[in-house]
C-alpha cells in the first residue's frame, strides 16, 4: 500500500500525565487520524523508556529499590537463553512461526497507557486510519543499559542479540494488539542515542552494525504489514535509518530541520520506495510558549523548500510529510504539553489547507 499522509499529525509517545484515561483522550482528540498510545513516565520507574520494554527479557534485573535496570551476566544463563530462543523461533520463524509474541508482552503494570488506549478504542467500535505504537530502539537500549560491571550491554554480542530479538517481538505484540482498531499501524523505533553516533562516547559502534540491528526490528514490524518509523530527537546520519529500511524518518525538525537535506540521494531513495518524513517541527521545550501556527508553518515551508532545492520534487515532499512534535512531552509541564498537541493538530490542518489536501491518500 502506498500512503500519502499529506501532513497527517501523530505523536512521539511520552506524555506528562498521571491519568491514563486523560492521556488517551488527549491523543485521540488532537491526533485523531493517528493517535499514539501514551507512555506515562510520571506513573513510576516501570514506565520509564528503557524499563518499560525490559520486562521478560532474559538476564534483566529490574531493581525497584534503586530505580535501576541492568543485565546480570555473571550466572549460568545457558538454559535461560535456550528457552528464549526456542520461544523466539516458535513465534518468529519466517516459515514455521505462529506469530504469537505474547511471551514478550508488556503488562498492565509496565504500561497503563497501552491498555487504556485498547479499552477506549474497543469502546468506540470503529476503525481509525492509523494507530501508532512505539518501542525504545535496540541501539539506544543496549548502549544505555549496562551489565553488572557497568559495561554497556551493546558490547556483549550474545545479550545484544537477545535484546534486538526481544524488542522485535514486543513490536509485533503491540502491532497485533492494535490492528483490529486501525487500517494500518505505525510502529516507531525511538533511537535518541543515535544523536551521539560518531562521537567518542560510543567507540566501536559501527555503521553496518546499526543498520543490521535496526533492520532486524524493522523486518519484524513488516512481518505484520505495519509501517516502520525510526525517530531520533537529535542530529544523526539520517541515511543510516533509510539504509536500515525505515518507512518513516522522524526527527526534530525544529532544531535540526536542515540536516535531512544533507542526504539528498538517500531521501530520494526513501521517497522512491514510498517512504515518508515525519517533521518534528513543533518544539517540545519552553520554546512552544512563543510559537504560533503561522510561525511553525513558515518554518516548515522553509525546510521543505530547502530540501526541494537539493533536487527532490516538492510535491513528493509535501505529499509524503507527517507533522509531529519534535520529541516526547513526558518531561514537560502539562500545560506546555497540551499546547504542543494543540499546535500539532492545528499545523496539520493549516498545511493541508495551504496545499489543498482534503485527506490522506492510500492506494494499493
Beta strand 227-232 pairing with 248-251:
parallel
Burial annotation 304-315 (CB, 10 A radius, 16+ → b, else e): beebbeeebeee
The per-residue pLDDT for 166 is 98
Residues 6+ apart with CB under 8 A from 343: 282, 288, 291, 293, 296
Instruction: Give the Cα separation of 24 and 116 in Å (integer).
Output: 7
What does the block give as the cell for 262? Answer: 544533507
The per-residue pLDDT for 332 is 97
Name the one residue in this structure whose C-alpha cell is 512461526: 97
Closest CA to 17 of 51, 52, 41: 41
The answer to whether 83 touches 89, Cβ cutoff 8 Å, is no
The per-residue pLDDT for 235 is 93
* DSSP state, residue 283: -
The per-residue pLDDT for 364 is 38
What does the block give as the cell for 251? Answer: 526527527
Closest CA to 211 of 165, 249, 244: 244
Instruction: Give the Cα separation of 307 and 285 in Å (integer).
Output: 25
The per-residue pLDDT for 58 is 96
What does the block give as the cell for 335? Answer: 500545560
The per-residue pLDDT for 203 is 80
Based on its alpha-carbon atoms, the radius of gyration of the chain, rounded to whole angstroms, reads 20
Instruction: Give the Cα separation of 240 and 200 in Å (integer).
Output: 18
Residues of the chain with pLDDT under 50: 364
211-216 own/partner pairs: CB under 8 Å, 24+ apart: 211/240, 211/243, 211/244, 212/244, 213/138, 213/139, 213/160, 213/164, 214/137, 214/138, 214/139, 214/189, 214/240, 214/241, 214/244, 214/245, 214/246, 215/244, 215/245, 216/138, 216/164, 216/165, 216/168
Q: What tens digit of pLDDT does each residue of 39-83 get?
A: 999 999 999 999 999 999 999 999 999 999 999 999 888 999 999
The answer to whether 273 touches 242, Cβ cutoff 8 Å, is no
The per-residue pLDDT for 1 is 56
Name the one residue in this structure whose C-alpha cell is 518509523: 229
Residues 6+ apart with CB under 8 A from 69: 50, 51, 54, 60, 61, 62, 63, 145
Residues 6+ apart with CB under 8 A from 55: 62, 106, 107, 110
What does the block give as the cell for 315? Answer: 510535491
The per-residue pLDDT for 204 is 85
Amino acid at each position: 500500500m502506498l500512503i500519502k499522509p499529506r501532513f497527517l499529525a501523530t505523536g512521539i509517545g511520552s506524555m506528562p500525565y498521571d491519568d491514563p484515561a486523560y492521556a488517551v483522550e488527549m491523543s485521540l482528540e488532537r491526533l485523531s487520524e493517528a493517535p499514539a498510545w501514551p507512555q506515562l513516565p510520571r506513573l513510576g520507574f516501570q514506565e520509564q523508556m528503557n524499563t518499560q520494554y525490559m520486562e521478560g527479557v532474559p538476564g534483566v534485573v529490574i531493581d525497584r529499590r534503586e530505580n535501576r535496570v541492568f543485565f546480570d551476566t555473571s550466572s549460568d544463563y545457558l538454559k535461560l537463553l535456550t528457552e528464549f530462543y526456542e520461544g523466539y523461533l516458535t513465534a518468529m520463524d519466517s516459515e514455521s512461526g505462529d506469530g504469537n509474541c505474547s511471551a514478550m508482552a508488556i503488562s498492565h503494570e509496565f504500561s497503563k497507557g497501552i491498555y487504556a488506549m485498547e479499552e477506549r478504542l474497543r469502546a468506540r467500535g470503529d476503525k481509525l486510519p492509523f494507530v501508532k505504537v512505539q518501542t525504545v530502539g535496540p541501539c539506544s537500549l543496549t548502549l544505555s543499559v549496562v551489565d553488572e560491571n557497568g559495561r554497556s550491554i551493546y558490547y556483549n554480542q550474545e545479550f545484544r542479540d537477545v535484546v534486538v530479538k526481544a524488542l522485535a517481538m514486543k513490536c509485533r505484540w503491540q502491532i497485533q494488539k492494535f490492528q483490529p482498531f486501525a487500517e494500518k499501524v505505525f510502529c516507531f523505533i525511538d533511537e535518541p542515542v543515535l544523536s551521539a553516533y560518531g562521537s567518542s562516547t560510543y567507540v566501536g559502534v559501527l555503521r553496518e552494525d546499526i543498520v543490521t540491528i535496526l533492520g532486524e526490528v524493522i523486518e519484524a514490524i513488516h512481518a505484520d504489514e505495519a509501517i516502520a518509523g525510526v525517530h531520533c530527537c537529535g542530529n544523526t546520519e539520517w541515511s543510516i535509518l533509510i539504509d536500515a529500511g525505515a518507512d518513516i524518518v522522524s526527527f526534530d525538525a525544529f532544531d535540526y530541520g536542515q540536516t535531512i537535506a544533507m542526504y539528498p540521494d538517500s531521501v530520494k531513495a526513501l521517497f522512491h520506495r514510498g517512504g515518508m518524513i515525519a517533521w518534528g517541527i513543533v518544539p517540545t521545550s519552553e520554546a512552544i510558549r512563543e510559537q504560533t501556527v503561522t510561525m511553525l508553518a513558515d518554518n516548515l515551508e522553509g525546510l521543505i523548500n530547502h530540501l526541494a532545492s537539493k533536487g527532490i520534487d516538492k510535491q513528493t515532499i509535501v505529499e509524503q510529510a507527517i507533522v509531529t512534535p519534535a520529541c516526547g512531552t513526558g518531561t514537560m509541564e502539562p500545560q506546555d504539553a497540551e499546547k504542543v498537541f494543540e499546535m500539532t493538530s492545528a499545523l496539520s490542518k493549516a498545511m493541508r489547507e495551504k496545499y489543498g489536501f482534503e485527506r490522506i491518500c492510500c492506494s494499493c
